[in-house]
Amino acid sequence: MHQTPSSPQRPLKVGVVGIGWAGRQHLEAYAASADVEIIGLAGMEPDLLAELRDEYGIPHAVERWEDLIALDGLDAVSVAVPTFLHAPITVAALERGLHVLSEKPIARNGDEGQRMVDAARRAGRVLEVAFNHRRRGDITALKRVIDDGGLGRPYYAKASWLRRSGIPSLGSWFTNREMAGGGPLADIGVHVIDYALHLLGEPKVLSVSASTYSELGPQGRGGGGGGYSAQAMGSAFEVEDFATAFIRLEGGATLLVEAGWAAYRDADDLLDFRVYGTDGGAELTRVGGPDDAVESLRVFSEEGDHDPEVGPSLGHQGVVDDFLAAIRAGQSAWGGHDGSLALSRARVIDACYVSAAQQREVQL
């Protein structure tokens, strides 16, 4: 088995599978990281592959992911491809002794995610999943307020990511159930569930009651706006375009989640989190697209309302930095980075889809 030295004395050699938007975020983050060499890149678009190879000075640019993970000296790989490929590529890379950073969601469902986590544990390697929104400055600031007891005990929260016309290309892999595993609940809702549970201190999810809707996508509406796009491939619209879930948490708190690619609402994306606690509350909103969003954070309490200082958003750079730090922490630390947190998110989403299909509350 390929052995990965944990010493920071030599650069870590990394590769990226996938050259879409997410893959390019990983490339940019690795390129900005100290003591990292990008030695491989895999992608299916020859012109873009060659362009990125030249831009980043990557010695091995290949079409097949199998050829990338076989490269000598490779330590770690990012998997930034359609969701149905996450499990096969990740498991194969882990079996070669590579550390893996996968894009979200971990997989199409919890069973596939479990295979990935099991492979990471067998290999004794790091498996992380890219939840870049929890690295935002506003979420980091609110997390600090909640952890410091500023709201007392949170008992109700509502979180959402809503778009007006944000289906990532009608007819793309995103709208194919077999390839994507689901619609906005799996695509952007997983971010909402992740940052909400992160902010609330990772309470155990007890049950979900969810509904999904597919009203605009099948009519050919709701696609092409907001800069969200993917290569069209002629797929029928097989997933939901809007989802909502009422989630019961251990300790009595509840969380309401909304995730929508398309709905008749304001044109700007909305990502929000509102929380009420025994000693205070908070409202966090992020309005706009990926490159021009405006964030606001307000905390309410008996002592007075205030706007906490918000630091910079780290995005994928923060994700990659944390992944590299986990690798460099050494073998004794790798077991704490086995993908199990992302797997728990997948199990919640699985339960939501069962609940929506059967129109009942589902226990976890």
177 shares a domain with 113: no
Shared domain for 185 and 267, answered yes or no, is: yes
| Same domain assignment for residues 162 and 253 | yes
Q: How many C-beta atoms surround the C-beta of residue 279 within 10 A?
A: 13
Same domain, 21 and 162: no
> Do 180 and 241 touch, CB atoms closer than 8 A?
no
Asked if the structure places residue 322 within a domain, the reply is yes
> Has residue 121 been placed in a domain?
yes
Print pLDDT tens along the chain (364 aa).
344 444 446 899 999 999 999 999 999 999 999 999 999 999 999 999 999 999 999 999 999 999 999 999 999 999 999 999 999 999 999 999 999 999 999 999 999 999 999 999 999 999 999 999 999 999 999 999 999 999 999 999 999 999 999 999 888 899 999 999 999 999 999 999 999 999 999 999 999 999 999 999 999 999 865 455 566 667 789 999 999 999 999 999 999 999 999 999 999 999 999 999 999 999 999 999 877 899 999 999 999 999 999 999 999 999 999 999 999 999 999 999 999 999 999 999 999 999 999 999 999 9
254 and 183 housed in the same domain: yes
Report yes or no on whether pTM surpasses 0.85.
yes
From the list 267, 245, 271, the residue with the least C-alpha distance to 258 is 245
Task: Please check whether residues 52 and 176 belong to one and the same domain.
Answer: no
Examine the domain organization and report whether 205 and 85 are in the same domain. no
Whether 292 and 178 share a structural domain: yes
341 located within any domain:
no
Contacts of 111 (CB under 8 A, 6+ apart): none
Residue ending a domain, among 298, 313, 328, is 313
Q: Are residues 207 and 70 in the same domain?
A: no
Both structure tokens of 56: 């980043």
Q: What is the pLDDT of residue 233?
A: 64
Q: Do 174 and 275 sit in the same domain of this protein?
A: yes
Does any domain span residue 6? no
In-domain check, residue 118: yes
**Domain end marker among 272, 298, 313:** 313
**Is residue 304 assigned to a domain?**
yes
Asked if residue 162 belongs to a domain, the reply is: yes
How far is Cα 176 from Cα 179, in angstroms, rounded to an integer?
5
Has residue 357 been placed in a domain?
Answer: no
Domain holding 210: CATH number? Answer: 3.30.360.10
Q: What is the domain count for the chain?
A: 2
What residue numbers bound the domain in which 267 lies? Answer: 137-313
Residues in contact with 130: Cβ distance below 8 Å, sequence separation at least 6, in sequence order: 22, 26, 80, 101, 102, 103, 104, 316, 319
Q: Are residues 244 and 265 in the same domain?
A: yes
- Clarify whether residues 33 and 64 are in a common domain: yes
Peptide bond connecting 8 to the previous residue in cis, omega within 30 degrees of 0:
no
Q: Which residues contact 325 (CB under 8 A, 6 or more apart)?
A: none
User: What CATH number does the domain containing 107 carry?
Assistant: 3.40.50.720
In angstroms, the first-to-last Cα distance of the chain is 37
Judge contact between 76 and 101, C-beta under 8 A.
yes
> Which residue in this structure is represented by tokens 């989802």?
243
